[in-house]
A and B are shown apart, each in its own frame.
Chain A
Amino acid sequence: MKQLWDGPLNKIDDYRWEIPKTYNSGMRVPGLIYASSNLLEKIRQGQAMEQVANVAFLPGIVGHSLAMPDIHWGYGFAIGGVAATTLDDGVISPGGIGFDVNCGIRLLRTNLTLKEVKPKIELLVNELFRAIPSGVGSKGKIKLSYNEIRDVLRRGSRWAVERGFGWEEDILFTEEEGCMKDANPDLVSKHAMERGKPQLGTLGSGNHFLEVQVIDKVYDPEVARELGLEEGQITVMIHCGSRGLGHQVCTDYLVTMQKAVQKYGIQLPDRQLACAPLSSPEGKNYYAAMACAANYAWANRQCIMHWTREVFAKVFRSTPEELGLKLIYDVAHNIAKIEEHSLKGKKIKLCVHRKGATRAFPPFHPDIPKKYKKIGQPVLIPGDMGRCSYCLVGTEKAMEETFGSTCHGAGRIMSRMKAKKEARGRDIQQELKEKGIIVKAESRGTLVEEMSDAYKDVSEVVEVMHQTGISRKVVRMRPLGVIKG
Chain B
Amino acid sequence: MKEFEILEHTADIGIAAYGKTKREVFINIARGMFEIIAGGNKISKENLRENFYDKIKLEADNLEGLLFAWLNELLYISETKLVILSKFKIKELSDYHIEAEVGGAKINPPSVKIEKEIKAVTYHRLEIKKDEKSGLWSAQIIFDI
Interface, chain A (partner B; CB < 8 A): 1-2, 46, 72-76, 79, 95, 98-100, 136-137, 191, 194-195, 198, 204-206, 244, 247-248, 250-251, 254-255, 258-259, 270-272, 274, 412-418, 443, 445, 485
Contact = CB atoms under 8 A, between A and B. Distances in A.
B61 interface: yes
B21 interface: no
Interface string B98-135: 00000000010000001111011111111000000000
B76 interface: yes
23 contacts: A1-B8, A2-B8, A46-B10, A73-B9, A75-B122, A99-B119, A99-B122, A99-B144, A100-B119, A136-B117, A137-B114, A137-B117, A198-B80, A205-B117, A206-B119, A244-B79, A247-B119, A248-B76, A255-B65, A271-B124, A416-B145, A418-B8, A443-B39
Interface residues of B, number: 36
B79 A137 contact: yes
A12 B3 CA distance: 49
A76 B123 contact: yes
Given A79-B11, A195-B79, A136 B124 contact: no
A250 B8 contact: no
B69 interface: yes
Interface of B: 6-13, 39, 60-61, 64-65, 68-69, 72, 76, 79-80, 82, 107, 114-117, 119-126, 142, 144-145
A76 B76 contact: no
Contacts of B39: 443, 445
B10 A72 contact: yes
A116 B122 CA distance: 46
Nearest to A259: B61
A99 B120 contact: yes
Given A137-B107, A258-B65, A272-B124, A74 B79 contact: no
Nearest to A103: B119
Contacts of A1: 7-9
Consensus secondary structure, chain B interface: loop
A72 B6 CA distance: 20
B25 to A, nearest CB: 19
Nearest to B117: A136
B11 A73 contact: yes
B116 A76 contact: no
B10 A73 contact: yes
A412 to B, nearest CB: 5
A195 B76 CA distance: 7
Contacts of B107: 137
Given A75-B12, A244-B79, A445 B115 contact: yes
Contact of A255 (B12, B69, B117): B69
B117 A204 contact: yes
Nearest to A258: B65
B110 to A, nearest CB: 11
A272 B9 contact: no
A251 B121 contact: yes
B111 to A, nearest CB: 15
Contacts of A274: 123
A76 B124 contact: yes
A2 B9 CA distance: 8
Given A99-B144, A204-B117, A251-B72, A271 B9 contact: no
Given A76-B123, A205-B117, A417 B13 contact: yes
B81 to A, nearest CB: 10
Contacts of A418: 8
Nearest to A445: B115
Given A75-B142, A415-B9, A443-B116, 13 more contacts: A1-B7, A1-B9, A73-B10, A75-B123, A76-B124, A95-B122, A137-B79, A205-B117, A251-B72, A251-B121, A259-B61, A270-B124, A271-B124
